[in-house]
């Protein structure tokens, strides 16, 4: 696998864990970390109703299990932050081949980031 070879060449093989898995079935291996995922989006799946169900579930899993982590989502679907119920702390434009995408960064905290009304 190219990613593993790149990690070895860069000297990061001992500190980065690569895993292909369903985020919905995943649990973090530690209290802090970085999760990078490329979830399905309309261009690849074509089924908007499935995505409308999937994205909120992704947000729930992140909030319930991955507090203290940073999550990065690569997607061409710019509705992603709203659909998963998290505020992106950073949006980086990039291309996945010829397809314009965004790399969204989310800082996952326990509870809510929203300020309580006084």
Any domain includes 53: yes
Q: How confident is the model at residue 52 (pLDDT cuts 50, 70, 90)?
A: confident
At 40, which CATH number?
3.40.50.150
Q: How many domains does the chain have?
A: 1
Range of the domain at 98: 33-110
Task: State how far the Cα of 38 lies from the Cα of 27, in Å rounded to an integer.
Answer: 17
Tell me which of 42 and 89 has the higher pLDDT. 89
Percent of the chain, pLDDT > 90?
Answer: 52
- Of 98, 103, 100, 24, the C-alpha closest to 64 is 24
Entry pTM:
0.81
Any domain includes 6: no
Question: Tokens representing 12?
Answer: 């990061």
Give the pLDDT mean for 12-30.
90
Any domain includes 9: no
Task: State how far the Cα of 37 lies from the Cα of 99, in Å rounded to an integer.
Answer: 17
Q: Is the pLDDT of residue 19 over 90?
A: no
Task: State how far the Cα of 86 lies from the Cα of 67, in Å rounded to an integer.
Answer: 12
């Amino acid at each position: 696998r190219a990613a593993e070879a790149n990690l070895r060449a860069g000297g990061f093989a001992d500190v980065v864990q690569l895993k292909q898995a369903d985020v919905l079935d995943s649990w973090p291996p530690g209290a802090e970390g970085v999760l990078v995922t490329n979830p399905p989006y309309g261009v690849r799946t074509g089924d908007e109703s499935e995505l409308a169900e999937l994205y909120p579930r992704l947000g729930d899993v992140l909030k319930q299990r991955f507090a203290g982590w940073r999550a990065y989502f690569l997607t061409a679907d710019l509705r992603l932050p709203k659909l998963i119920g998290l505020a992106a702390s950073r949006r980086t434009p990039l291309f996945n081949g010829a397809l314009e995408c965004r790399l969204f960064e989310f800082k996952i905290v326990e509870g809510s980031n929203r300020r309580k009304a006084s």
